[in-house]
Amino acid sequence: MNDSSATGKSAWLRLVILAILASIAVFILTPWGVEVSHDGVLYLTAAEGLLTGRGISWISGEGAIKPLTHFPPLYPSLLAAIGLTGFDIVFAARMLAAALFGINVFLTGWIVARATRSEGWSLFAVLIALTSPVLLRQHLRAMSEAPFMAFSLLWLMSLGAYLRRPSHRRLLAACAAASGALLTRYIGVSLVAATGMALLLLEPDLWRRRFGRAAGAMALAYLPIVPWYIRNWALTGNATNRVLIFHPPEVARLKQGVASMSAWLLPEQFPLWVRLGFLGFMGILVLGAQVLIYRLYTRGEAGPQVQNAIHTLALALVGMICYGAVLIASLTFFDAATPIDNRLLSPIYLLALIYGLVSLWLVQRRLRLGHGFALSLGLAGAALVALNLARSAAIGEQMRGEGAGFTARRWRTSETVDLVRRLPDSVEVYTNEMLGLSFLAGRPVFPVPEKIDPVKAQERAGFPEALAAMREDLLGGEAILVIFPPLSKRVEMPSLEEVAGGLSVYQETSDAQIYAAPGFEPLP
């Protein structure tokens, strides 16, 4: 990978072409639409609320309009903006996902290009990002991770440009990107903190000026979300729909995070101990590289281009540290249900990709490693791209064939959904898939009461009364109970005996069991 100017028109054009191909690939892979999960239903209905004039709100299964407070407003606002053109909101999510994949692939390559001035290294970064199953999966979902990653990359690019050549315009752009991340996901506060930390540590100025500039930038980045917090508090008495409770993350959840990261380099078919060992080995290599880079920087041996690369490394590292710290804090104090999986870790993955490639470039440049290193790195890179491509192809095959989430073929052609859709309004429906069933059937559906609040990791207040009220409706012949298996895999749900005891299996469909009181009139 020989160094050459990678910021000229030819390099820019290559990155644009690859980005367009990335967008086309996501669009082709989602004929059934992007995956819509429970959170996705909230985002889509909130976007529809903006389009229909009811505001950023979601419709609960039973038909009640509730303000959206659990998530920030930017992602549903983007979907609504596309919906203004007349597209269906699910199709709007598909278009936005495709566009964001191309944008994120382009920004990844461009940041590496600016840091290394090497077209070879930038194309290497693009190929890894383009074929990565971690990134592809997050861009096939109606979720906020994809726009959050775009704002993270814009933040890294803007703040890096500011450190190279300070100006108010560049600093404002970095603050705007951090603010966009926070308006997309509450964990975006990590980029606000990272902005302040980077200005404190990386600017060559007097400490009191650094403190003033860091405090001002953080305030500027944080300010746009304050009206949203005030609105939420006024409507619900809570700024983010979260409560401060101490519930430290379980060891199993932390292991889940380590296992997810180990699968970034080796496939999940490898035993966990092999993946963890390889992850540890790579960590030792990275630590050694960072020692070399630190000595290079502190001895004043770094020219302007190397300093630019080191700034990119430092920003990526600060971003990863702040994101991880806020994630652990959220798990410990605000949301016990947060999984440490590839969805939550994908922003770290993207920053780690940039961090790793720029580190390798610096080590190669400093040690003047020759063709043998380049050949070894090329072979390792080709193996990683081939592995990524195989894993991404499996994801693509599944999405094209069946889809995922509530837009999957099995839900779109569900016998149960069709049956519920045709029920008379006088028949109430209770189910353990309230959001999905109401979203697809287009009618009010009541939830089976949750026994445990997964966010607080505590038993829900009023659960016995809610369960008794539901059973009274069911046993009184006024409602049916639709259970999509497996009920037992959701730890917050009561047991099947608790909800269906005394009822009869009235009808079995291909994807659910329907319970009703004995003697209930036939369903249409």
Annotate 386-403 with DSSP letters as a single string.
Answer: HHHHHHHHHHHHHHHHT-
Domain containing residue 422: 414-516
pLDDT for position 4: 46
pLDDT digits (tens, 9 = 90+) for 114-158: 998 888 899 999 999 999 999 999 999 999 999 999 999 999 999
The whole-angstrom separation of Cα 524 and Cα 513 is 16
Q: Is residue 224 part of a domain?
A: no
Residue 454: inside a domain: yes
Q: Which residue has the higher pLDDT, 467 or 254?
A: 467
Higher pLDDT, 443 or 96: 96
Q: Verify cis geometry, omega within 30 degrees of 0, for the bond prior to 166.
A: no
| Tokens at 359, concatenated | 């580190």
**Residue 57 domain-assigned?**
no
Which residue type occupies 498?
Answer: E
Q: Which two tokens stand for residue 142?
A: 């109606």
DSSP designation for 509: -
Mean pLDDT of the residues in the chain: 87
Q: 371: buried, middle or exposed (CB in 10 Å: 19+, 13-18, 0-12)?
A: exposed
Distance of CA 162 to the CA centre of its chain: 27
The CA distance from 266 to 394, in Å, is 16
Beta strands, E only, 339-488 = 428-431, 446-447, 452-453, 458-459, 479-483
- The domain total for the chain is 1
Say if 192 falls within a structural domain: no
Query: How does residue 192 score in pLDDT terms, banded at 50, 70 and 90?
Result: very high
Rg value, the chain, Cα: 25
Q: Is 423 part of any domain?
A: yes
E strand or H helix at 505:
strand 504-508
Type of residue found at 514: I
CA atoms within 13 A on the CB side of 377: 19
- Tens of pLDDT, residue by residue over 340-371, are 888 999 999 999 999 999 988 888 877 766 67
Quick: pLDDT tens for 250-261.
Answer: 777 777 888 888
Domain for residue 493, yes or no? yes
Domain membership flag for residue 419 = yes
DSSP 27-80: HHT-TT-SBB-HHHHHHHHHHHHHHHTS-SEEE-TTS-EEE--SS-SHHHHHHH
Cβ-proximal residues to 155 (8 Å cutoff; 6+ apart), any chain: 174, 177, 178, 181, 191, 194, 195, 319
Q: Which residues contact 512 (CB under 8 A, 6 or more apart)?
A: 416, 482, 483, 484, 485
Q: What is the pTM of this model?
A: 0.90
Instruction: For residue 107, give the amino acid letter.
Output: L
Q: 8 pLDDT exceeds 70?
A: no
Better-predicted residue by pLDDT, 214 or 375 = 214
Q: What is the pLDDT of residue 234?
A: 95
- Asked if the structure places residue 498 within a domain, the reply is yes
